[in-house]
Structure 1
Amino acid sequence: MDRLTEMEAFAAVVDQGGFTDAAKKLGISKSAVSKHVSSLEARLGARLLNRTTRRVSPTEIGLAYYDRARRVLNDAGEADALVTAMQAAPSGLLRISVATDFGVSLLSPILGRFLHQYPDISLNMVLNNRYVELISEGFDMAIRLGEMEDSSLRARKLCETTRRMVGSPSYFQKFGRPQRIDDLNEHKLLHYSNQASGNVWKITAPSGEKRQVRTQGWLTVNDGQSLLQAAIAGLGIAYLPSFLYADAMKRGLLEDAIPSLPKETLSVYAVYPPGRFTQPKVRAFIDFLAEAFADKGPDLW
Structure 2
Amino acid sequence: MDRLTEMEAFATVVDQGGFTDAAKKMGISKSAVSKHVSSLEARLGARLLNRTTRRVSPTEIGLAYYDRARRVLNDAGEADALVTSMQSAPSGLLRISVATDFGVNHLSPALSDFLSDFPDITVNMVLNNRYVELISEGFDMAVRIGELEDSTLRARKLTETTKRMIASPKYFEQYGRPEKIDDLNNHKLLHYSNQSSGNVWKLTAPSGEKRQVRTAGWLSVNDGQSLLNAAISGLGIAYLPSFLYSEAMEKGLVEDAIPELPLETQGIYAVYPPGRFTQPKVRAFIDFLVHEFAEKGPTDW
Indicate the SS of the match to 2:213.
strand
- Describe the SS at the equivalent of 2:155: strand
State the match for 2:130 in structure 1: 130
Amino acid at match of 2:215: R
Who is 1:269 aligned against?
269
1:64 paired residue number: 62
Match for residue 237 of structure 2?
237
Describe how 1:108-127 pairs up with structure 2 within 5 A.
108-127=108-127
- Report which stretch shifted further, 1-10 or 102-111: 1-10
Q: Given the superposition, is the C-alpha separation of residues 195 and 61 from structure 1 closer, same or farther in structure 2, using an over 3 Å criterion?
A: closer
Identity over the aligned pairs, expressed in percent?
Answer: 71
Map of 2:259 onto structure 1: 259
CA contact (8 A) 2:129 2:222 kept: no
Of stretches 280-289 and 77-86 in structure 1, the one that deviates more from structure 2 is: 77-86
1:151 aligned to 2:151?
Answer: yes
Match of 1:82 in 2: 82
Preserved CA contact (<8 Å) 2:90 2:281: yes
Moved more, 143-152 or 41-50: 41-50
Residue aligning to 1:172 = 172
CA distance in 1, matches of 2:150, 2:228: 30
Counterpart-to-counterpart distance in 2, 1:47 and 1:222? 67
Report Cα offsets for 1:14-64 as digits up to 9, x if no partner: 97649xx79x9459xx9x99987776555334678999xxx9x97976993
Instruction: Quote the residue 1:162 is aligned against.
Output: 162
Q: Which structure 1 residue ranges, 5 or more long, are not aligned?
A: none
TM-score in terms of structure 2 length:
0.80
**What are the residue-to-residue correspondences of 1:1-301 with 2, within 5 Å?**
1-7=1-7, 17=20, 25=27, 40=40, 42-45=42-45, 64=62, 67=66, 71=70, 72-207=72-207, 208-217=209-218, 219-301=219-301
Q: Are the structure 2 counterparts of residues 5 and 224 from structure 1 closer, same or farther at C-alpha, using a change threshold of 3 Å?
A: closer
Contact 2:129 2:223 in 1 (8 A): no
For residue 91 of structure 1, report the CA deviation from its aligned partner. 1.5
Is the CA contact (8 Å cut-off) linking 2:200 and 2:212 kept in structure 1? no
TM-score where L is the length of structure 1: 0.80
TM-superposed CA distance for 1:75, in Å, is 4.2
CA contact (8 A) 1:202 1:213 kept: no
Change (3 A) 1:259 1:73: closer
CA RMSD in angstroms, aligned pairs only = 3.6
Alignment coverage as a number of residue pairs:
293
Shift of 1:86: 3.7
| Aligned-partner Cα distance in 2 for 1:119–1:153 | 28
Is residue 154–residue 274 contact of structure 1 (8 Å, CA) maintained in 2?
A: yes
Question: Gaps spanning 5+ residues in structure 2: where?
Answer: none
Q: Within 1, Cα distance between the matches of 2:196 and 2:98?
A: 16
Amino acid across the alignment from 1:116: S
Q: Which amino acid aligns with 1:101?
A: D
Structure 2 SS opposite 1:190: strand
Shift of 1:300: 0.4
Structure of higher CA gyration radius = 1
